[in-house]
Every structure is written in structure tokens, then in C-alpha cells.
Chains A and B, each alone.
Chain A
Amino acid sequence: MLALFDYVIAPFVEFAFMQRALAGALMLSVSACPVGAFLMLRRMSLTGDAMAHAILPGAAAGFLLYGLQIVPMTIGGLIAGIVVALGAGAVARLTIQKEDASMAAFYLISLSLGVLMVSLRGSSVDLMHVLFGTVLALNNDALTLIGLVAALTLGTLGIFWRALVAECLDPLFLRSVSRLGSPVHFIFLGLVVVNLVAGFQALGTLLSVGLMILPAAAARFWSQRVEIMCLLAIALGMLSSVCGLLLSYHASLPSGPAIILSAGVAYFVSVIASPRGILLARRPRAAHRTA
């Protein structure tokens, strides 16, 4: 029992940096996981990945001008993300090109700009920092930002829930009863951007999408209701955060990848062992009902 305490609880009690990391990761789970659930249900999982890359030039511009400061990097990332989201969304809605293609085009342009800017100045250490983040070095500014984003996300999801579900389930129906279809799509893309920006301090631009998608993808295997799926995704995200931080602490691993890998374990367990996973769905049934 004491060993368990030493192993699981003590790191968070003894070290302030672990407490901050835990607080940041838990808030990110609450905020990013439900967004990820809708991203996945809209078949836009890879859009999240594209958006994460798209944020890079903005963050890099902030970094070039002001060094490793959270406010300019966040604002830069937000601007880049919103420009890419709006541009890709506008091309998809105004032309015959679908959103996957326009999104790919915009994010590739954005990513190459970002790499160009980072390589103009700065060492590879800086690049690593922007790309992979440091959850163990979250300062008060970063924690405040994550908290604000979490509050904004939960508030927005609460207000637009019904429209978001309708837009995913039957977009043509929503268009026939309301004008909210297009706005709610862009509001949702905005939530994706702010959550990725909030996550990149902790997990880096490339991995912040991991906490968004992996718990949601795992939760899909366990539930047939969207509400339950979102709650389950949050729970899995929190669990992954705790496990990842402990793993990183005890094995001296980088914290971002440790958290995302923990979520990856949750995903594989779900793929294999869940009611709709590989094993149970393939199991030959001995009996079936009459109706």
C-alpha cells in the first residue's frame, strides 16, 4: 500500500512541477477530448493532424520575434491556425474541392513556411521545443491559458451541442431548418485550433493532436451514444495523463510522448478487447435469438 503511494501519489505531492504538469494535462483532457470525439465522428481525425502542423509557422513567428514566450507564440499559432481553417473551409464550401484536399494544400504551405522560419534562426534545440513541448515546464501563464481554453471549449460545446450533433448526423436537415450549419462548422474548427494551441506548450505542436484523437478513437469502441463517448474520452484522456506523467517521472522519459503513448495503449486495448473490438466481434456466437 505504501509502495503504491510512493509510486503513484508521492511524485505529485512532492514536486510542484509535477502538480502543474498534472493540472495542465487534466485540463487539456477535459477540453480537447470531446473536441476530438466530434473531430473523429466528422471523419476529420487527420484534419486535426493537419491543423497541428498548420499552427507551426505562427508559433515560429512568435518565437523568432520574442523568443520562448508563451503569449506571442500562442497568438501567432492562433492566427496561423485560424487562417488555415478559414481558408481551407472557404475553398471547400465555395468550390467543388472537398475539405480534405483544400486542408492538405493549406497546411502543407503553412508547415513549409514554419520550418523555413524556424531554420532562419535558432538551433535544433529550439525547433525540438516548438515541435515537442515541455509539459514539465508549464508556467503560470501557460496554465492560465489552458484553463481559459478549457472553459471556453466547454461553454461553446454546451451552447452549440445540439447544432453540432445535427451538423454531424444530418447536415442537410440542419440546413433546411436553420442557418447555423456553416457557422457551427467554423466554430468547431475554431475550437480545434484553440485546443491545439493550448496543447502545444505542454505536448508540442505535433503531439497536441494526440490527446485529442487517441482517447476519442478509443472511446468509440465502447459506446453507441455520443454523450457517453465524450465523457469516456475525457476519462481516458485523464487516465493517460496521469499514467504518462508517472511513466515520465519514474523512467525519466520525455513527458509529452509518454502521455500520448499511454493514450495509445488505451486505444489498442479498446481495439482488441472492447465489445465492438476485434476479439468479441469475431467471436463465434453459440446461440442467437429468435427475433
Chain B
Amino acid sequence: MSACVNLENLTLGYDSHPAVHHLNGVVRKGSLTAVVGANGSGKSTLLKGIVGVLKPMAGACTIAPGVKLAYLPQQSELDRSFPARVVDLISLGLWPRRGLLGRHRSEDREAVSQALSAVGMEGFEKRPIDTLSGGQLQRALFARVLVQDADLILLDEPFNAIDARTVTDLIDLIKHWYGEKRTIMVVVHDLDLVRQHFPEALLLARQPVAWGEARKTLAPDNLLRARQFHEAWDENAPWCVPEEARNHDDPAHVNSHDHVDHADRRGVA
């Protein structure tokens, strides 16, 4: 199967500290992948890098041409005090189809109301968004992803603040997308949920620990290794030098460290 997202030696991070470190791999078209890992292991950062709102510090992340992308962020920058109704919020999802100027047609309005009922929010059309509960807002955002009708769907902890019954409904939706051969990546914390419903998983601990079949990825020894990364930033951490530059003197080195030592760090960390 062909690649949907191609990650080449991808390093993403903030303020010269990597949050995702040297990630290589391919997200196949039509795959359903759970992204798991501890707090600060780089899950959300990876999704931001794929969406393109965070530029890579090194390496590259390429999305196959023509792939439409939908992204449900962990922390939405939504302004809840803005005077808008639930339909206005969900209709934003029509942007990929209608763009800036295209008229919203009757089939678009139909798609919006279908998405609302798919997340169990019939009758919420005219509600101002500042009157929604946290879980209702999350479901409305999920409905917007539905309306976007994207080929690549990135969901960052979509089950936060959502009641058990709705989680089941949303997982059914995700499986329905999977059946439609869409490519889906979901950041999840509930490992049982992953073992039960996700064919593939990527276990991150800043570096990738394992990536593949979900049950194998979540095997106890992998989970143990994933726990052994140091979450806090180390201001004195040595600079990570690419292979070809290793043989040159790098003036940016904070601590002088010999190359063998450096290679070892990368190997085990």
C-alpha cells in the first residue's frame, strides 16, 4: 500500500529541545494508528508537525499530494465567547469543499445536520457555543471533522471529557472511517482501548520505541522502555549532530563529549 505520510528523520521541538527525535517511518494510506506514550513524549507535537503548524527542526514530513487533512487539536484555540451557533462552528468544516467564497448549498447543510446527529447532537443547531458543556463542545468539534470529509484524519486525545457511551459511538465512527479507507491517527491514553480497537500503534518516548501491530507494540518490554525517558528538558544536553557532521569540529557544542559517547546516548535513549 502507498504512503500517506512520510516521516524522514523528523525532529520536531521547541526552543532547540526536541520533542520528537529522529522519527523515521511511513503512515500507510488507509491505516488506523494509535499514537501512545507518556506525557511529554511528543504525541501532540508529532501531529502538529504533520499538520504543518509546527515546522521541523530537522528532517522532513511529507504528505502525499492531493491528500485532504482534518485535525482535531488537543487544545483548541476556539474562542467560546465569539457570537456563533453550533451550526456556524460545524459549517467551518465545509472550508475544504467550498473555500473562501463558495456558496453553502443545501447538500452542505444536509452534511452538517448529519454530522450533528452522528455525534448525538440533534437539536443543538441553534445553540450559542458558549452554552455547551466541555464534552458537547468536543463532540461538536468531532462533527466538524466529519464534515471536512478528509482523507487523513488526525485526532489529538479526542475522547477527553467525553462520557463512556459517546466514546463508544465515536469509536464506531472512527472504525467507519477506517472502513472507508481513510488514514487515521489518534492520540490515545487508554491502552486497553488501543488493544481492543486499533490495528496499529506508534509508541513514543521522544524517540520512537515501537511502531507496528498494536498488541506487539504495547508489549510489556516496550512499555517499560517507553517509561525510561527523561521528561524534563536538559539545558546541558549535548547538541545532537547529524552523521555526516560528526567528523568535523562543531563550535556549537556546549559540553565537549567524544563521539563514541554521543553515539551511545542516541542508541539507548
Give chain A's interface residues, CB within 8 Å of chain B.
41, 159-160, 162-163, 165-166, 168-178, 180, 220, 223-226, 229
A238 CB → nearest B CB, Å = 21
Given contacts A169-B78, A224-B83, contact A176 B100 (CB under 8 A): no
Determine the residue in chain A with the shortest Cβ distance to B82: A169
Task: Please give, as numbers and ranges, the residues of chain B lying within 8 Å of A175 by CB-CB distance.
Answer: 53
Task: Please give, as numbers and ranges, the residues of chain A lying within 8 Å of B69 by CB-CB distance.
Answer: 176-177
Cα separation A178 to B102 with both chains bound (whole Å): 14
B74 CB → nearest A CB, Å = 11
Decide if A169 touches B73 in the complex (CB within 8 Å): no
Decide if B96 touches A226 in the complex (CB within 8 Å): no
Decide if B92 touches A220 in the complex (CB within 8 Å): no
Of B52, B53, B92, the contact of A169 (CB 8 Å cutoff): B92
Task: Please give, as numbers and ranges, the residues of chain B lying within 8 Å of A172 by CB-CB distance.
Answer: 53, 73, 76-78
Decide if A169 touches B79 in the complex (CB within 8 Å): yes
- 16 A-B interface contacts by CB (under 8 A): A41-B79, A163-B100, A166-B92, A168-B79, A169-B82, A169-B92, A170-B79, A170-B89, A173-B76, A173-B78, A220-B83, A223-B83, A225-B83, A225-B84, A225-B85, A226-B83
Determine the residue in chain A with the shortest Cβ distance to B78: A170
Given contacts A160-B100, A171-B77, A175-B53, contact A41 B82 (CB under 8 A): yes
B23 CB → nearest A CB, Å = 20
Task: Please give, as numbers and ranges, the residues of chain B lying within 8 Å of A171 by CB-CB distance.
Answer: 77
Decide if B76 touches A41 in the complex (CB within 8 Å): no
Of B82, B95, B100, the contact of A226 (CB 8 Å cutoff): B82
Cα separation A174 to B85 with both chains bound (whole Å): 18
Decide if A169 touches B89 in the complex (CB within 8 Å): yes
Task: Please give, as numbers and ranges, the residues of chain A lying within 8 Å of B99 by CB-CB distance.
Answer: 178
Task: Please give, as numbers and ranges, the residues of chain A lying within 8 Å of B100 by CB-CB distance.
Answer: 159-160, 162-163, 178, 180
Cα separation A19 to B128 with both chains bound (whole Å): 42
Decide if A170 touches B83 in the complex (CB within 8 Å): no
Determine the residue in chain B with the shortest Cβ distance to A96: B15
Closest 6 CB pairs of A and B: A172-B77, A176-B71, A170-B78, A169-B82, A177-B95, A224-B128
Task: Please give, as numbers and ranges, the residues of chain A lying within 8 Å of B89 by CB-CB distance.
Answer: 169-170
Give the residue among A41, A172, A177 with the most B Cβ atoms within 10 A.
Answer: A177
Task: Please give, as numbers and ranges, the residues of chain B lying within 8 Å of A226 by CB-CB distance.
Answer: 82-84
Give the residue among B51, B76, B92 with the most A Cβ atoms within 10 A.
Answer: B92
A161 CB → nearest B CB, Å = 9
Task: Please give, as numbers and ranges, the residues of chain A lying within 8 Å of B101 by CB-CB distance.
Answer: 159, 162
Task: Please give, as numbers and ranges, the residues of chain A lying within 8 Å of B82 by CB-CB distance.
Answer: 41, 168-169, 226
Q: Interface residues of B, CB < 8 Å — how many?
A: 26
Q: Is the interface of A mostly helix, strand, loop or mixed?
A: helix
Of residues 28 to 67 in B, which have CB atoms within 8 Å of A's CB atoms?
Answer: 51-53
Task: Please give, as numbers and ranges, the residues of chain A lying within 8 Å of B148 by CB-CB distance.
Answer: 177
Given contacts A160-B100, A229-B83, contact A170 B92 (CB under 8 A): yes
Cα separation A223 to B99 with both chains bound (whole Å): 27
Task: Please give, as numbers and ranges, the residues of chain B lying within 8 Å of A223 by CB-CB distance.
Answer: 83
Decide if B95 touches A166 in the complex (CB within 8 Å): yes
Decide if A41 touches B83 in the complex (CB within 8 Å): yes
B158 CB → nearest A CB, Å = 15
A178 CB → nearest B CB, Å = 6
Extra A-B contacts (19), CB below 8 Å, given A159-B100, A162-B95, A178-B99: A41-B82, A162-B101, A165-B84, A168-B82, A169-B84, A169-B89, A169-B92, A172-B78, A173-B78, A173-B92, A173-B144, A176-B70, A177-B69, A177-B95, A178-B95, A220-B83, A224-B83, A224-B85, A225-B84
Task: Please give, as numbers and ranges, the residues of chain A lying within 8 Å of B78 by CB-CB distance.
Answer: 169-170, 172-173
Task: Please give, as numbers and ranges, the residues of chain A lying within 8 Å of B52 by CB-CB distance.
Answer: 176
Of residues 133 to 174 in B, which have CB atoms within 8 Å of A's CB atoms?
Answer: 144, 148
Of residues 87 to 132 in B, which have CB atoms within 8 Å of A's CB atoms?
Answer: 88-89, 92, 95-96, 99-101, 128
Task: Please give, as numbers and ranges, the residues of chain A lying within 8 Å of B77 by CB-CB distance.
Answer: 170-173
Cα separation A175 to B73 with both chains bound (whole Å): 12
Cα separation A163 to B92 with both chains bound (whole Å): 9
Task: Please give, as numbers and ranges, the residues of chain B lying within 8 Å of A159 by CB-CB distance.
Answer: 100-101
Cα separation A160 to B99 with both chains bound (whole Å): 11
Task: Please give, as numbers and ranges, the residues of chain B lying within 8 Å of A180 by CB-CB distance.
Answer: 100
Give the residue among B79, B89, B128 with the most A Cβ atoms within 10 A.
Answer: B79
Cα separation A105 to B84 with both chains bound (whole Å): 33
Cα separation A30 to B122 with both chains bound (whole Å): 37
A186 CB → nearest B CB, Å = 16
Decide if B83 touches A176 in the complex (CB within 8 Å): no
